[in-house]
Amino acid sequence: MKIVAADVVVTSPDRNFVTLKITTDEGITGLGDGTLNGRELSVASYLADHVVPLLIGRDPHRIEDTWQFLYRSAYWRRGPVTMAAIAAVDVALWDIKAKAAGMPLYQLLGGASRNGIMAYGHASGRDSQELFDSIRRHLEMGYRSIRVQTSVPGINAVYGVAAQPSAGGKRYDYEPAQRTALPAEEDWDTRAYLRHLPGVFEAVRGEFGPELPLLHDGHHRMTPIQAAKLGKALEPYDLFWLEDCTPAENQEALRLVRQHTTTPLAIGEVFNTVWDYQTLIREQLIDYVRSAVTHTGGITAMRKLLDYAAQYQIKSGIHGPTDISPVGMAAALHLDLAIHNFGIQEYMQHGPATNEVFRQSFSFTDGYLHPGELPGLGVELDEEAAARFPYQPAYLPFNRLKDGTVHDW
């Protein structure tokens, strides 16, 4: 088999997505996701200008060889743009191989290790009543594990709270990137957050009882000692995990946090290679790996990363916000089903226009996801529908402290 074409499709149904479609001389096509929130066109250019010309004529079955060729021949290592582009190629090639085999992709990864994939959803509220309503709504939608994010008195706009007004006055239900010409400015005060959050979890436990798995995302905003303090304060509420408690690039910060708290720690949605985890995994400083298949070099690289983590009883918690396209989500679900050290899968749910552009075959039943039984990933791209939603500039917000200092968002 030979690759005869590779097309980069940029579409913006509910948000921007970058999709690579690889076509073979046998008529089999494969899809890969290269979406990088707020920087989408850089991956589209990397693929169209520098990768597509290298793919034409290659044997699509040689996935490992293609991965190593793209990674090593670029000379420049790692980085979100490069690794998202490599992921798009890698996942498209796995899609092709599984279609050629006539099997759902998870079968080629070793077959199912479980019946379904436990997913968590995003509940949030500006106050406890709104938060409780949101948790109840997520339970009604079928979720059996819930991430809890809340407003903080004295802060106007906080990451992850769907009902708070955002730039342009819209709710940010689906995700925080906004279709604005400039990134929206939000505000932040870590001491106010640390004072407020334990009481919120106490109230949620009081209302919903001890069993419901609860998660929280610190979104990179604390120093190591602040994160240690929060982890300790949340211990009575038995979190499933505390995510991104410190900015992710300093692996050693987690050592300090770990010495102070038994709250499980998750990190890695902004990482893009196994090298970002070297210290974290070897020293068992975390409990869950948060990488996205889309941002970490695809199935090939994620499998190696998760196998490395498995040696240390560290589990998967694959990133699944709405800025991962249905193609990237499908890749995650096939991997989740096959690996032994599965932990949990983030699942936010795409909007109706996205579901029209990407026809999907996964199911979500009683809290569990399943990728379905179609050959390959089980996702088809409706290119006519995609063309009706052209790219729109959009940015994630950023934070400033009260004195104007830029802060992690």
- Rounded to a whole number of angstroms, the minimum distance from the CB of residue 243 to Co ion is 5
What is the rounded CA–CA span in Å between residue 409 and residue 67?
32
DSSP string of 185-253?
A: EEE--HHHHHHHHHHHHHHHHHHH-S-S-EEEE-TT-S-HHHHHHHHHHHGGG--SEEE--S-TT-TTH
Q: Of the listed 138, 216, 219, 220, which one is catalytic? A: 219
Q: Which does 125 bind (CB under 5 to 8 A by kind): Co ion, ligand EZ4, none?
A: none
Contact positions toward ligand EZ4, by CB under 6 A?
Answer: 37, 176, 217, 219, 269, 321, 323, 346, 396
Shorter beta-carbon distance to Co ion: residue 51 or 248: 248
Q: Of the listed 106, 120, 159, 347, which one is catalytic? A: 159
**CA dihedral over 91, 97, 102, 108, signed as positive or negative:** negative
Which H or E run contains 363?
strand 363-365
* 234: its two tokens: 């949340």
Shorter beta-carbon distance to Co ion: residue 175 or 217: 217
Give the ranges where 261-345 is alpha helix by DSSP (H). 278-282, 298-310, 326-338
Q: Which does 328 bind (CB under 5 to 8 A by kind): Co ion, ligand EZ4, none?
A: none
- Rounded to a whole number of angstroms, the minimum distance from the CB of residue 320 to ligand EZ4 is 8
- 219 has catalytic annotation: yes
Q: What is the phi/psi pair of residue 349, to 5°?
A: 80, 125
Closest residue to Co ion: CB criterion: 217
Under rule CB under 5 A, residue 40 binds Co ion: no
- Rounded to a whole number of angstroms, the minimum distance from the CB of residue 75 to ligand EZ4 is 28
Q: Among the candidate windows 24-32, 82-90, 212-220, 250-258, which touches Co ion by CB under 5 A?
A: 212-220
- Rounded to a whole number of angstroms, the minimum distance from the CB of residue 218 to ligand EZ4 is 10
Under rule CB under 5 A, residue 217 binds Co ion: yes
Strands of the sheet containing 17-24, edge to edge, are 3-11, 17-24, 29-33
Q: Which does 321 bind (CB under 5 to 8 A by kind): ligand EZ4, Co ion, none?
A: ligand EZ4
What is the rounded CA–CA span in Å between residue 9 and residue 17?
8
**CA dihedral over 99, 100, 105, 111, signed as positive or negative:** positive
Q: Which residues are catalytic?
A: 159, 219
Q: Which parts of this chain interact with Co ion (CB under 5 A)?
A: 217, 269
